Structures are given as C-alpha cells and as structure tokens.
Structure 1
C-alpha cells in the first residue's frame, strides 16, 4: 500500500447537539450554525486537495461532506457503515430524561464502561464497525488523500482502534466540524493531528 493521508471530519452542529440530546442514528439535519461551520471548514480542508470523500448517509454528515465536494469537484460517496453509534431508546432524549428511566445504565455508560444503551450499540461495537469500514475504504482506494465524514463517537472509537489504543475514551471527541489527520501505510496508522477546529 502506498502511503495515504486520511482525514476524519465530524459533521457540523445540529439542534440536538445544542440541546445535549442523544442523536445516534436519528437523522437530524444541520442547523444554520452547522452549515456555516461546514462551509468554513470545507474551505480550509480543500487546501489538502482530497480526491475521495466518503460520508455517512445521515444528512448531517452528508451535507457537511457536500460543502467540500463542491469546492474540490468530486462526488461524495455515501456509506451507511459510517453512521453514528446507535443509542437505541435513548435517542432524542437529554441525559436527565434518560436518568429517570435508566439511572444505573446511564451511570455505567457515563463512567466509560463498554455497555450498550437499551436497543443500541456499545462503544466497542460501533467503533469496530466504523474502523472496519474505514479500513475497507482506505485499502481499496486508488487515491492518496481521503476524507471520511462521520460522527463524534464513532470517529473517536474507530481512531482508537486503528491506532491500537487500549480502553475507550483515550482521545477526545472531535468538536462540530473538527477533524483529525492520519497517515496510513503498510506500517499502519499514524496520528498527525487531532481535534483541529475553526475558532
């Protein structure tokens, strides 16, 4: 494998982000701030001349990706494997609401334990799903610079798996429209930067 540059880019802000709601695989669109963030970040990332842009098919990631795709003149590829972690019955609720029904389960999840919300995925399950998808995308790509546009929890989880980090939560969650840059070659994955956001 020739060395490749792979960017992990989180979608822009949504109303659920502002309200502190579990978003998961609920298809929540960008809000006006998120669209502005995506446009500004796209102008920055376009300087890296990405040749392949692959995004989660959830609209907040797809719309974020499209801002960059238009600038650099490539078509976004949508991949459902890049969706956010499924939070099951917690989706759409804030933590206080979840705590009313599932106080023990929420406390365990908040502590960093690798547990699944009712009807959802654990951190390791969602991270492994997205890490496998990214590995497949990168291994089969014939270009040198790839942008993966997805979601906070799964981008962190996948990054930790690809870097061989033990445990969960060793990296911070990317802010809205934040990105990380990796090098990938036959020697494995190298983290070049993480958490870069516009101020």
Structure 2
C-alpha cells in the first residue's frame, strides 16, 4: 500500500479570478496561479513524492509540471481526473447562470446532487475521480507517496468518498483554494485525513 496521497488543486486561472465556471474548459494558469504553484511546490518538494499524476487539463498539468521541475519526477496525465463537467454553464459567471437557470443554480449552491444542463452531477464526477485514484493507488509501489493534481470540486468529492463521508450528507470538506492541498494516509480498508486545504498566498512570497 502507498504511504500517502497528496491531493493538490491547480493554481489560479483568469476564469477563477473572474468567477467563471470552468468545467472542462482548458484554461491555463495566470501569473498568480504560477506563483501559487511555485510556493506550494517549494513545500511539497520535501514530501518525498515518488509519482505525480495530473488531470490532462492545462491548469492542472502546468501546476504539476512546476513541481516536476523542482523534484525531477515526471508527470503522468490522466483524463479521468478532469474537473466536473458543468455543461452549458461552462465559461459563464454566477450572475449569467442565475439569469438563465435561477432554480438550478440555487439547487447547486444548496448542495443538491443535480446536473447542470448538459453536465454531470457531483456524485458522478466524484465516482469517476475516485475510481481513477483507486486505480492509481493500486498500481503504485509499496510505501510510495503520490501527488494527484486536479480540481477543486472533484478533489473534495473523491476525498469524501475515500473517507466514507459521501452520500446524502456529503459536503463535510470545503473546496480547497487554488493550489491548496490535502494529505490522506491509508489504513487496511479506509483512509485517514491528515491535512486539508493548506494553501499559499503569493502575496506572502518574498
């Protein structure tokens, strides 16, 4: 069994800064996001990471590459680690969505496990990413440390599934800020949450 998994959210993008729903839109990091990634990578470099696996979307892959360059471990892409698909909401702000789908947006923010028009539900995306993480863990070597670089909604959802916190009352964990990370360690048939939502503000970088 692996020693631990580090679940790391990508750095900030312009869509994040503008409050736009990203979904599967392939948006790169902005300068703030790159600064966040470098700050977090300086800490994660001391974790003894053996493998880095990232979503294939640019914002996650670029974040992962910044850690890769620091520690000399290549990045493996996995499209199953993509963010939740938000369908027709993709690229729109909350205000724009509220004008077109007010009831659906209200249900979304109330935590209802619903599908945005043309998208997938939180439970569907969490199941997809959890399955990918379990496969990654199963193929890893004994006592290895894995960094899984992905997206806020699906990292929270999959962590809750791994911790047994999913179901009708899901939502125990908060969505991590850009470049926040969490750490889980294994037990025989479950996982222990060691850290969640640790993040780095580029304003603090000297």
In structure 2, the residue matched to 1:40 is: 39
CA–CA distance in structure 2, aligned partners of residues 101 and 187 of structure 1 = 44
CA–CA distance in structure 2, aligned partners of residues 169 and 185 of structure 1 = 22
Mean Cα deviation higher: 96-105 or 75-84 = 96-105
- 1:72 is displaced (CA, Å) by 1.1
- 1:186 is displaced (CA, Å) by 2.5
Which segments of structure 1 move beyond 4 Å, counting only runs of 4 or more? none
Contact persistence 1:3–1:185 (CA under 8 A): no
- 1:3 is displaced (CA, Å) by 4.5
In structure 1, the residue matched to 2:64 is: 65
Alignment of 1:160-175 (within 5 A): 160-166=160-166, 167-175=169-177
In structure 2, the residue matched to 1:91 is: 90
- 1:70 is displaced (CA, Å) by 1.1
> C-alpha deviations, 1:157-190, integer Å up to 9, x for none?
0000110004222100010000000102423211
In structure 1, the residue matched to 2:138 is: 139
Contact persistence 2:2–2:140 (CA under 8 A): no
User: Is 1:81 the counterpart of 2:111 in the alignment?
Assistant: no
Measured on the aligned residues, the alpha-carbon RMSD in Å equals 1.0
Contact persistence 1:178–1:196 (CA under 8 A): yes
Specify every segment of 5 or more residues in structure 1 that has no aligned partner in the other structure, as ranges: none
Contact persistence 1:7–1:147 (CA under 8 A): yes
> C-alpha deviations, 1:3-47, integer Å up to 9, x for none?
421000000000110111001110010000001111111111000
**TM-score w.r.t. structure 1 length?**
0.97
CA–CA distance in structure 2, aligned partners of residues 122 and 71 of structure 1 = 36
Question: How many aligned residue pairs are there?
Answer: 198
CA–CA distance in structure 2, aligned partners of residues 22 and 184 of structure 1 = 33
In structure 2, the residue matched to 1:148 is: 148
CA–CA distance in structure 1, aligned partners of residues 38 and 123 of structure 2 = 32
In structure 2, the residue matched to 1:26 is: 25
Contact persistence 1:52–1:147 (CA under 8 A): yes
Contact persistence 1:123–1:168 (CA under 8 A): no
